Chains A and B, each alone.
Chain A
Amino acid sequence: MYLTITSTAPAATDLGYLLHKHPDRAQQFDVSAGRAHVFYPEATDERCTVALVLEVDPIDLVRGRRYGGDAFALSQYVNDRPYAASSMLAVAVGKVFRTALAGKCAAKPDLVDRPLPLEIHLPALPSVGGAPMVRQLFEPLGWSVEATPIQLDETVPHWGDSRYVQTRLRGTVMLAQALSHLYVLLPVLDNAKHYWVSTDEVDKLVRAGGGWLADHPERELITRRYLAHQRELVATATSRLAEVDDLAPEALDNAVDGNEEKAPDALPLVARRRQAVLEALRQEGAARVVDLGCGEGALLRELIQDAKFSEVLGVDVSPRALAVAERRLNLNRMPDSQRARLRLMLSSLTYRDERLAGYDAVVLMEVVEHLDPQRLPALEDTVFAQARPRTVIVTTPNVEHNVRYERLAAGTMRHRDHRFEWTRAEFAAWATSVCERTGYVVRYAPIGDIDPTVGPPTQMAVFSRADGTQRMAS
């Protein structure tokens, strides 16, 4: 909500001409997020400082719904937007200093292309990635960066630093360039879920970053973050329950990964896992298949492409995941013949569901590890005792392999919703006991490159009914 730009060029007050704002007057402007004020704490020939304050109306922020996000999120009245140098401040820069940003100055056009010794002060700059990220983004543009992280709460030292960084940028840069750096990089650093982007933001980015973005070493990160935050604006019932329990919506409504940083699973592994499951299904001669915990439908997409799978049922417990699957699979435009083979359905592994009975195979791909261990007997009952297909395929991470993931801290799991990750022996122990109780036999198959010591990244168990026939649905 606050930044100052100081020029120490000779005839420093020329800054006033460049910005089109008189150094001796305080001015105010209405912008979308509230009211912007411009004034000059200093204005001498040696040193001229312009200050931009954005007063964000905290009530309008929530009630006016100007700003996306969920109007019901508890967090919004308690919100950093009125204090942080966020994307909103960038919008104010773009509006209040529009002509300067465009590199125009009718009064003194020759000033425009002249690099000036500038110092920019941002007392509370939100930065996902902290001080290093601020340096990473600004240093390649010719700034010397002084970035000091701000502690969250000095009375609770173990909380550590906040994501806000007290920042000073010093450099000799054309003013228009400096403003465009702020205009683009403030939202990128902020990386806030609150910041949402309309389609013309793409053009804005190209325009504002035109001169320098192409050569920036972090170009890809800048583009991705700038454009990434198109989260749905509607709160789901699940996310509202998170608020009841003082959690962030994502803590419960996390069946759809969104833009979360991906776990260190390499993409090829995801594909290889699907491949392995499909192969196992073909080998077992399954035609009518249930994908239990289908998520966004990646496996469904491949199942439906093979006509040998005559009936495909995608089941998930997350309404949001099913909605995304429906969209991604283009259900509305799917040809009738394919559409007739596919059904999506809301259900839960921990409740009996007779609609799951009578299929050839049930796939539980990367599902069991999302259940608390004490709910596994319910899953066993639902799948192995009640639905009782001829084949059950279960894949789950092999925790032994985690040591091969360099980015994964020791002892942490691959996904924050994982309730457990099994060694090969633990997986086998569970599978064997399920077989004993329910009359299945099991074989195992590795997925991914097999490491001689720690085994494959993913393990798969293929269960077959010991009697080989299908019980009539009762």
Chain B
Amino acid sequence: MTELGIPELSLVVLIGASGSGKSTLARDHFAPTEVISSDFCRGLVCDNENDQAATADAFDVLNYIAGKRLAAGRLTVIDATNVQRDARRELVELAKAHDVLPVAIVLDLPEQLCVARTANRPDRDFGAAVVRRQREQLRRSLRGLAKEGFRKVHVLRSVEEVTAATIVREKLLTDFRHEHGPFDVIGDVHGCRSELETLLDTLGYRLSRDEHGRPVDAVHPEGRRLVFVGDLVDRGPDSPGVLRLVMGMVKSGRALCVPGNHENKLVRALGGRQVQVTHGLAETLAQLGEETEQFRSEVAEFCYGLVSHLVLDDGRLVVAHAGLKEAYHGRASGRVRSFALYGDSTGETDEFGLPVRYPWATDYRGHAMVLYGHTPAPEADWVNNTMCLDTGCVFGGKLTALRYPEKDVVSVPAEKVWYEPVKPFPAGEPVPADVRDHDHLDINDVLGKRVVETAHHGRVTIREENAAGALEVMSRFALHPRWLPYLPPAMAPAATSQRPGLLEHPDEAFASYDSIGVTDLICEDKHMGSRATVLVCRDASAAVGRFGATGGESGAVYTRTGRSFFGPDLSEALLDRVRSAIDAAALWEELDTDWILLDGELLPWSAKAEDLLRDQYAAVGAAARAALPAVLDGMQTARGRGVGLDDLLERTRARAANAEAFTAAYRRYCWPTDGLDGVGIAPFQVLATQGRTYHDRDHGWHLQVADRLFAAGPELFRPTRRIRLDTSDAGSVAAGIGWWESLTADGGEGMVVKPFANLTRTRRGIAQPGLKVRGREYLRIIYGPDYTEPQNLARLRDRNVNHKRSLALREYALGLESLERLARREPLWRIHEAVFAVLALESEPVDPRL
């Protein structure tokens, strides 16, 4: 039995004359979908597998399919004669374009056999001469295949060999997906052995030493392992010491390591190649000169054997010295290795003569976390799910590790400046956003039909048209996305009530939750304002450091479409008041955070919607109250002279009363404000703080926080009245109804009914986060002054709340998703994706009166 080894991800090119058994081999050893045959492609383009006139088109199709498969990381087998060098060159190029290894399996079988097999096939009308020519071309090619770029070449020369052959798929050298950690990933050490020892100690490793007291291994009591991002050597005081420890740990299986450009150069220097002894290599060579010949050769062997990058933990973690763009993860080619070692360069050099690096991480949109080093920076900072761990220890900075999967950064300071940098090493100030490149969003992050994965409600689809509408509002009217980590979801109303004179009533809301087994409810006063999200930072450094403030702003107060309620000055004044209340309530400390995201209502409604109130509501009231008395007057005069108008007169009287009630209803929503005087905020939920979300805390907790804010800042904050209720207790339900009646009797907006526990999952998925039950008088400004007239109400009851409910749930899930991404410190584009999706869904055509 012959084992033919092929890399798991490779382009397998079968080579053999017609009749040599390529298709059979492919069928026997590969899945049908892995094999693309030129005959099949010929059939696709011209209905005849043997029509040689279609060959060019057929190969276009073949290359296209193969390209798609390779881009997706799937092994692909090309079943074509491939006896001509030109044909193979195209395939080798295709493999290179996708950074996979090309492999050749050659079927060099006797000519007579091929001719006989071909003759037996009725659909093959070419004769022995063709087969013979193919065989000649094949034989001429055989020796040059490796040179052509095939990484492996397997040749089978007889039927027996073919029969005996088995295919063994080999893991790629970079493939450590089965290693799940936990890991501690260490940045560039550059010979700083002492700092490395300190760092390992801080991380909880116990060092073991050889007879000279030199560390050769380290063990973590919890079985954690180290991953080094390379550049162990050069510039620093003890490169051999670092190598000794790392090599020992790699050998014992307690560490993994990728090469840095410095190791790469060291290998060449140790191998006797001509290299420029610069950038600290001289120091290393001198230090190694003190070591034994055997140690030096072990070093050379170790460094030579390092693999360009590592793909770990089911592909969730990638480690490469200079980082790696997503298309290169788990791929193998010269350019992948070069990227991993040196990064992406723009080809320009800066004023210090150093190469200008192309900021690949700003464009990075991959799912895998990428950890790397290579470019020293004062702080390790997340850029789109990537982090550079080179914090310039050898230049007097610090040595940094990241705990994976915890994402904790652990650093120890350099003991001294071991090596003067060419370019001054910057001090560790927070970086404002105009230089935070990764805050830039790409149009592809939002445009077109999109699917957003949510943790709580599966995949949510955004239609292209809605994304387009949201793009316009987001671009032209909303705040900068970095201040917009959340948009509140729409809230669905309770099902329509059948009670006389009413469109909505608490019964339906209670029943709706009761029917899915949610009995513990809370009813909250629905404030008569506008939904508002408040993002407030504790101080300027939090605003700059966490949210990238550029203009001295310290937070944001915004509407449901992400527009700021106020201009910059008034916003800051409002945030100041919020901040002092949080100070006084000692919430920063309690929630262990320096920013807070609050959900609430901003009052009065007229502060935001004055135009609507004035131009629409007041105008309708004015017209009605001017016209109807005149009509009544005319009718009464006419009736005075005996004209029969009874019905019409009655109706008009009722309408005149309705117009007055309507006017009274909208008036409750406006009161004059001057600057912030008269403006109130009723918070009802803490959405997120540093590192956590709060939908697992019950509403009792949330409202207690709100109460404390009210107590600390009564001039700004408003409390939220509420009542807790048990749907299985008739008395409790009656109390809830009575409460709603009293709230709405004098024109209150109504209430929101929520599961007391907050985020609630039932067998049918997540429950509605809240159902609104609006008051009879309030609904006049939604459904018009005369909606309560029986003939109108009867028709208005015919409304469908299902679409709104489904929308509310999807938006809720997206909102939770954006909050969780925010808490996990995911990149801005990931947060923005979910926020943008909420806005896009809001532009779906749903009855806006619901």
List A residues at the B interface (Cβ < 8 Å).
1-2, 4, 24-26, 37, 39-43, 49, 51, 53, 55, 58-59, 63, 72-75, 77-80, 82-85, 121, 123-124, 126, 150-153, 155-156, 158-159, 162-164, 166, 235-238, 240-241, 243-248, 251-253, 255, 317-319, 346-355, 370-371, 374-375, 377-378, 381, 417, 474
Which residues of B are found within 8 Å of A417, using beta-carbon distances?
476
A58 touches B786 (CB 8 A): yes
Give every chain A residue within 8 A of B433 (Cβ-Cβ).
377
| Cross-interface CB contact of A152 among B471, B530, B618, B629, cutoff 8 Å | B618
24 A-B pairs with C-beta separation under 8 A? A24-B642, A25-B643, A55-B648, A59-B796, A72-B845, A73-B848, A83-B659, A150-B623, A153-B618, A156-B667, A236-B469, A237-B470, A238-B473, A240-B469, A240-B845, A244-B843, A246-B605, A248-B612, A252-B472, A319-B465, A347-B443, A351-B442, A352-B442, A355-B443
Q: Is the CB of A240 within 8 A of B618?
A: no
The reply to whether B618 and A162 contact each other, CB–CB distance below 8 Å, is yes
Partner of B476, one of A79, A155, A246, A371: A371
Q: How far is the CA of A337 from the CA of B605 in the complex (A)?
A: 55
- Tell me whether A164 and B622 are in contact (CB under 8 A): yes
- Bound CA span A168–B808, Å: 51
For residue B616, CB closer than 8 A to chain A, the reply is yes
A85 to B, closest residue via Cβ: B627
User: B621 touching A153 by the CB < 8 A rule?
Assistant: yes
Tell me the B residues contacting A by CB distance below 8 Å: 346, 358, 433-434, 440-443, 445-447, 465-466, 468-477, 479-480, 490, 530, 550-551, 559-561, 563, 605, 608-609, 611-612, 614-624, 626-631, 634-635, 637-638, 641-645, 648, 651-652, 655, 659, 662-663, 667, 670, 672, 781-787, 792, 795-796, 839-840, 842-845, 847-849
Asked if B473 and A123 sit within 8 Å, CB to CB, the answer is no
| Chain B residue nearest in CB terms to A4 | B634
Given the complex of chains A and B, what is the CA–CA distance between A162 and B614 in angstroms? Answer: 9
Which residues of chain B come closer than 8 Å to A247, judged between CB atoms? 609, 611-612
Chain B positions within 8 Å of A150 at CB level: 622-623, 626
CA distance A255 to B472 in the complex (A): 9
A121 to B627, CA, bound (A): 11
Residue of A nearest to B530 (CB): A246
A247–B371 alpha-carbon span in the complex (Å): 46
B209, chain A: closest CB distance, angstroms: 49
Is B441 in contact with A352, judged by CB distance below 8 angstroms? yes
Docked-complex contact B645 and A58, CB < 8 angstroms: no
Contact status B638-A238, CB under 8 Å:
no
Report Cα–Cα, A146/B433, bound state, in Å: 62
CB of A423 to closest CB in B, whole Å: 20
Query: Which residues from B are CB-within-8-Å of A164?
Result: 619, 622-623, 626
A346-B637 in contact (CB<8A): no
Cβ contacts under 8 Å, B659 to chain A: 83
CB proximity of B697 to chain A, nearest CB, Å: 28
Complex: A2 Cα to B623 Cα, angstroms = 11
Asked whether A162 lies within 8 Å of B447 as measured between CB atoms, the reply is no
A351, B443: Cβ atoms closer than 8 Å: yes
Report the Cα distance A32→B818, complex, angstroms: 49
Minimum C-beta distance from B513 to chain A (A): 26
Q: A238 CA to B842 CA in the complex, in Å? A: 10
Task: Evaluate contact between B473 and A40: CB separation under 8 angstroms.
Answer: no
Q: Do A156 and B469 form a contact, CB below 8 Å, given A39-B645, A124-B626, A374-B551?
A: no
A74 touching B849, Cβ below 8 Å: yes
Contacts of A77 in B (CB 8 A): 782-784, 787, 849
Please state if B627 and A244 are interface contacts (CB–CB under 8 Å): no
* B634, A2: Cβ atoms closer than 8 Å: yes
Please name the residue on chain A nearest to B471 by beta carbon.
Answer: A348
Does B440 lie within 8 Å of A238, measured CB to CB?
A: no
Question: Do the beta carbons of A40 and B623 come within 8 Å of each other?
Answer: no
B447→A347 contact, CB < 8 A: yes
Within the complex, the shortest CB–CB distance from B398 to chain A, in Å, comes to 30
Contact residues in A for B672 (Cβ distance below 8 Å) = 156, 158
Decide: B622 and A353 in contact? CB cutoff 8 A. Answer: no
Asked whether, in the complex, the Cβ of B623 is within 8 Å of the Cβ of A124, the reply is: yes
B468–A237 contact, CB under 8 A?
yes
Q: Rank and list the top 9 A-B pairs by shortest CB-CB distance, nearest first.
A: A237-B469, A237-B843, A123-B630, A77-B784, A246-B609, A41-B637, A83-B623, A348-B475, A124-B627
Choose among A41, A164, A371 the residue with the greatest number of B CB atoms under 10 Å from its CB.
A41
Contact across chains for B795 and A153 when beta carbons are under 8 A apart: no
If the complex has contacts A75-B616, A241-B839, A352-B442, are A166 and B475 also in contact, measured as CB distance less than 8 A?
no
Partner of B620, one of A83, A319, A355, A378: A83
C-alpha gap A55/B631 in the complex (Å):
11
Contacts of A346 in B (CB 8 A): 447, 468, 471
A80-B623, A85-B627, A241-B473 known; 17 other A-B pairs, CB under 8 Å? A1-B631, A39-B634, A39-B635, A39-B645, A51-B638, A63-B795, A153-B621, A166-B626, A235-B845, A237-B468, A244-B842, A245-B561, A245-B608, A246-B605, A348-B474, A351-B447, A377-B434
Complex-state Cα separation, A74 to B845, whole angstroms: 12
Across-interface contacts of A162 in B (CB, < 8 A): 618-619, 622-623
A73-B635 Cα distance, complex, nearest whole Å: 33
| Chain A residues within 8 Å of B468, by CB | 237, 319, 346
Per the bound structure, the CA–CA distance linking A158 and B623 in Å amounts to 18
Q: Which of B471, B559, B641, B667 contacts A317 (CB 8 A)?
A: B471
A375 touches B480 (CB 8 A): yes
Q: CA A370 – CA B845 in complex, angstroms?
A: 27
Whether the Cβ atoms of A348 and B443 lie closer than 8 Å is: yes
**Nearest CB of B to A371, in Å:** 7
> Across the interface, do A41 and B634 meet the contact criterion of CB distance under 8 Å?
yes
Known: A39-B635, A319-B472, A351-B445. A245 touches B563 (CB 8 A): yes
| Closest beta carbon of chain B to A350's beta carbon, Å | 5
Residues of A within 8 A of B434 (CB): 377
Q: How far is the CA of A128 from the CA of B642 in the complex (A)?
A: 39
CA A354 to CA B795, docked complex, whole Å: 52
Are B849 and A2 in touch, CB under 8 angstroms?
no
List, in ascending order, chain B residues with CB within 8 A of A375's CB.
Answer: 475, 480
Chain A residues, Cβ within 8 Å of B795: 59, 63
B559: contacting residue among A39, A74, A126, A245, CB under 8 A = A245
In the complex with contacts A80-B623, A248-B612, A72-B848 CB distance below 8 A: yes
In the complex, which residues of chain B have a beta carbon less than 8 angstroms from the beta carbon of A244? Answer: 490, 560-561, 842-843, 848
B475 near A246: Cβ-Cβ < 8 Å: no
Please report the C-alpha to C-alpha distance between residue A176 and residue B616 in the assembled complex, in whole angstroms.
34
**How many whole Å from B686's CB to the nearest CB in chain A?**
24
Residues of B within 8 A of A245 (CB): 559-561, 563, 608
Do B670 and A53 touch across chains, with their CB atoms under 8 A apart? no
Please indicate the chain A residues that have their CB under 8 angstroms from the CB of B560 in the complex. 244-245
Residues on A with C-beta less than 8 A from B787 are: 58, 77
Contacting residues, chain A, for B844 (C-beta < 8 A)? 237, 240
In the complex the two chains form, is A78's CB within 8 Å of B627's CB? no
| Complex: A154 Cα to B601 Cα, angstroms | 27
Given A84-B627, A155-B667, decide whether A351 and B475 contact each other with a Cβ distance below 8 A: yes
A152 to B667, CA, bound (A): 12
* Nearest neighbor of B624 in chain A, beta-carbon distance: A83
A74 and B623: CB pair below 8 A? no
Given contacts A40-B643, A246-B609, A352-B441, contact A78 B617 (CB under 8 A): yes
Q: Which residues of B lie under 8 Å from residue A153 when comparing CB positions? A: 618, 621-622, 663, 667
Whole-angstrom CA separation of A458 from B71 in the bound complex:
50
Residues in B with CB closer than 8 Å to A251 are 611
Cα separation A377 to B566 with both chains bound (whole Å): 21
Q: Which residue of B lies closest to A253 (CB)?
A: B472
Bound complex: CA A63 to CA B792 (Å): 11
A281 to B178, CA, bound (A): 58
Specify which chain B residues have a CB less than 8 angstroms from the CB of A318 in the assembled complex: 472
B626 touches A78 (CB 8 A): no
Shortest CB-to-CB span from B812 to chain A, Å, is 15
| Assembled-state Cα–Cα distance A253/B719 (Å) | 36
Q: Which residues of A contact B784 (CB under 8 A)?
A: 58, 77-79
Verify B627–A41 contact, CB threshold 8 A: no
Report the minimum CB–CB distance from A19 to chain B (whole Å).
15
